[in-house]
Each structure stands twice: as C-alpha cells, then as structure tokens.
Amino acid sequence: MSSTVELTKENFDQTVTDNEFVLIDFWAEWCGPCRQFAPVYEKAAEANPDLVFAKVDTEAQPELAAAFEIQSIPTLMIVRDQVAIFAQPGALPAAALEDVIGQARKLDMDEVRKSVAAQQAAAKEQGTGAQQAEDTQ
C-alpha cells in the first residue's frame, strides 16, 4: 500500500490548503532517475507519517508541471503553510532527503512569511519604479 498521494489539477489546491506540510515529487514513468528515487521517497513517507508525501505525474498533469515551471524530473518540492520553501531537481539519496525534511521542519514559518512579504513588496516597488521611469520618458 502506497503512503503517497497522487496529485492532480483537481485535488492539488485542496491538498496544499488542507495540509501544513506537503512534499511533492514531480516525476514521469519513462524517467530512470524518477524510478530510482521512488523507493527512497516511499521509505521517507513511511518514516514521516505526519507529513503528506505526494506525487505529480508530469505526463498526466502537464498543467501542474507548467504552473511550477518544472524543467527537469524528478523535482522535489516542499510546501509548508501554502508557501513553497524548497524545490530542487534531481534524485536525492535517502540521507539527503532526510536532511532536507529535517531542515524544512525546523524553519520558522513566521520568518519565512515575513521574508516572502518583503520580497513581494520589493518586487512591487521595482515594478512601480520601472513604471514611473517609463511614464517620465
């Protein structure tokens, strides 16, 4: 019995909204490294039953792969409190995956949200500045 959830465009938002901590493996059946990573991911799911481990088949769900700009598979993404806090292509060895999960667990999400808000404000400010510069020309 698999302990991972298959994500589709229909259940993606609900899964990420309803769960505080979601790991997502973007993969495809034809991908050799994806098949090598699958048992490592499955073992981590069994070792961390309090977390949601999900998979997105990029062939069956091209809209999700495009929405997250997945260029290479496998890609592991971690979403906490609806914020993507980690995304990295490549099959991770078991020890590296456990390390990433440990680091993600330790993150202070209040600090992450402050940082995201600051980045969004800076980007908006840059956009406004660029618009003002255009307007003056």
Pick the catalytic residue from 23, 31, 70, 101. Answer: 31
| 75 within 8 A of 112, measured Cβ to Cβ | no
The single-letter DSSP state of residue 51 is S
| Residue 102 a catalytic site member | no
Strands (E) in the chain, as ranges, are 4-6, 21-27, 52-57, 75-80, 83-89
Six-digit token pair at 124? Answer: 């908006």
| Residue 31 a catalytic site member | yes
Q: Distance between CA atoms of 124 and 51, rounded to whole angstroms?
A: 34
Pick the catalytic residue from 7, 23, 24, 34. Answer: 34
Give catalytic residue positions. Answer: 31, 34
